[in-house]
């Protein structure tokens, strides 16, 4: 007898009634996966005072919203959230469950996976449905979730398949999955959850939450000027900042430049950094590793400046400049300022 495929679930992060972008990105990806499997896209929304969130989830493609509104679920603490999600899993048996790779998702997903004895792949950068032949155990599986992520420090891309009991669980970084435009005409249904908690589930109390904003939000940038190891030094990175300032853009970097200590990790573009889709991406002194290109190759226009005519980055660039960036960048700045 063929096992019935469960639905695709997304854990929704919200604060103050505003849904996190990573959750909406996962709803859109969940809709894509669910369509391929012929099942529904469903969301798990927990918290307090969630008016307006449900309609937003419908507009991005949710068929069903499991809604638990309880003041004990705000602010986020892992024990009550895990208990509510586990009870839902046992009752409804989803096929796939996705979390954002945020501090909430990274704390909650492993606890749920451990309780359910399910597999969990962290920090996925791509998800797709495919068949899988387990040659060691001589078993074949259909319609499994291919969980793709960097491994060994980002040096290879691994495809992981979970053959344990469902749900197949993953965490996904913000900005990796595309967010579709919402459609306010879409509607779904709400399943309200009666939250059953005891004293042992609420022993943790959030006394204070201290926030520190990132120095940069590359995911929202429209113009990015990135520097790689070919820039030569930390001091020489001033050229990258100067060009970004002239173009009213933001500064990005390759992993090699970050590892060299020339710029902090918040600026790193690629599979081990941030995935970006700006209108203009200028790669300066970046060779173009697979990991870096996967994080920026959806940019609308790519300009690459590199002294090596065989650099891989030139093969994906819309415009290539082969030359010394120390000469090219000042000329670009002067030309732009003259035109402006």
**pLDDT value, residue 154:** 65
- Cα–Cα distance for residue pair 283/286, rounded to 1 Å: 6
- The CATH number of residue 253's host domain is 3.40.50.1220
Element (H, E) at 105: helix 103-116
For residues 168 and 57, state if they share a domain.
yes
For residues 166 and 75, state if they share a domain.
yes
For residues 328 and 195, state if they share a domain.
no
Residue range of the domain that includes 237: 218-339
Q: Exposed, middle or buried, 48 (CB in 10 Å: 0-12/13-18/19+)? A: middle
Dihedrals phi, psi of 329, to nearest 5 degrees: -60, -45
For residues 154 and 222, state if they share a domain.
no
For residues 18 and 122, state if they share a domain.
yes
Peptide bond into 167 cis (omega under 30): yes
Of the pLDDT bands very low, low, confident and very high (cuts 50, 70, 90), residue 1 is: very low
Last residue of a domain, one of 202, 235, 264: 202
For residues 120 and 30, state if they share a domain.
yes
Q: Are 1 and 87 in contact (CB under 8 A)?
A: no
For residues 109 and 164, state if they share a domain.
yes
Number of continuous H segments (helices) and E segments (strands) in the chain? 9, 17
For residues 222 and 187, state if they share a domain.
no
CA 48 to chain centre: 25
Peptide bond into 75 cis (omega under 30): yes
- The CATH number of residue 119's host domain is 3.40.50.620
CA geometry: angle 304, 309, 312, nearest 5 deg = 60
Full DSSP string of 45-94: EEES--TTHHHHHHHTT-SEEEEEE-GGGSS--HHHHHHHHHHHHHHH--
Q: pLDDT tens across 286-319, in order?
A: 999 988 998 999 899 999 999 999 999 999 999 9
Question: Among candidates 157, 152, 156, 148, which has minimal Cα distance to 176?
Answer: 148
Token pair belonging to 296: 């920026």
What is the value of pTM for the model shown?
A: 0.80
Q: pLDDT tens across 170-215, in order?
A: 999 888 899 999 999 999 999 999 998 888 887 777 788 777 777 7
Of the pLDDT bands very low, low, confident and very high (cuts 50, 70, 90), residue 327 is: very high
Last residue of a domain, one of 202, 235, 267: 202
Of the pLDDT bands very low, low, confident and very high (cuts 50, 70, 90), residue 153 is: low
Q: Exposed, middle or buried, 206 (CB in 10 Å: 0-12/13-18/19+)? A: exposed
Token pair belonging to 175: 């900005």
Q: Are 269 and 283 in contact (CB under 8 A)?
A: no
**pLDDT value, residue 201:** 82
Taking 80 as the threshold, does the pLDDT of residue 259 lie above it?
Answer: yes
């Amino acid at each position: 007898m063929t096992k019935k495929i469960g639905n695709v679930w997304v854990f929704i992060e919200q604060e103050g009634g505003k849904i996190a972008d990573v959750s909406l990105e996962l709803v859109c990806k969940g809709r894509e996966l669910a369509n391929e499997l012929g099942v529904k896209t469903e969301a798990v929304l927990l918290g307090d005072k969630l008016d307006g969130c449900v309609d937003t989830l419908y507009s991005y493609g949710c068929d069903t919203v499991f809604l638990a509104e309880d003041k004990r679920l705000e602010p986020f603490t892992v024990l009550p959230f895990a208990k509510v999600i586990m009870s839902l899993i046992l009752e409804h048996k989803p096929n796939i469950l996705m979390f954002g790779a945020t501090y909430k998702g990274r704390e909650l997903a492993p606890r749920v996976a451990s309780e359910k004895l399910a597999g969990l792949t962290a920090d996925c950068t791509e998800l797709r449905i495919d068949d899988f032949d387990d040659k060691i155990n001589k078993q074949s599986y259909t319609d499994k979730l291919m969980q793709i992520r960097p491994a060994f420090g980002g040096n290879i891309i691994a495809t992981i398949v979970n053959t344990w009991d469902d749900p197949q669980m993953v965490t996904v970084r913000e900005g990796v999955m595309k967010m579709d435009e919402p459609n306010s005409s879409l509607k779904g249904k709400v399943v309200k959850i009666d939250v059953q908690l005891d004293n042992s589930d609420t022993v943790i109390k959030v006394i204070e939450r201290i926030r520190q904003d990132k120095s940069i939000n590359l995911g929202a940038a429209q113009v990015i000027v990135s520097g790689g190891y070919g820039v030569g030094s930390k001091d020489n990175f001033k050229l990258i900042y100067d060009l970004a300032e002239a173009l009213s853009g933001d500064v990005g970097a390759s992993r090699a430049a970050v590892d060299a200590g020339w710029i902090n990790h918040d600026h790193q573009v690629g599979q081990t950094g941030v995935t970006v889709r700006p209108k203009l991406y200028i790669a300066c002194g970046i060779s173009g590793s697979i990991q870096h290109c996967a994080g920026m190759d959806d940019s609308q226009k790519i300009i690459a400046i590199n002294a090596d005519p065989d650099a891989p980055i030139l093969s994906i660039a819309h415009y290539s400049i082969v030359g010394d960036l120390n000469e090219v960048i000042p000329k670009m700045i002067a030309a732009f300022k003259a035109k402006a």
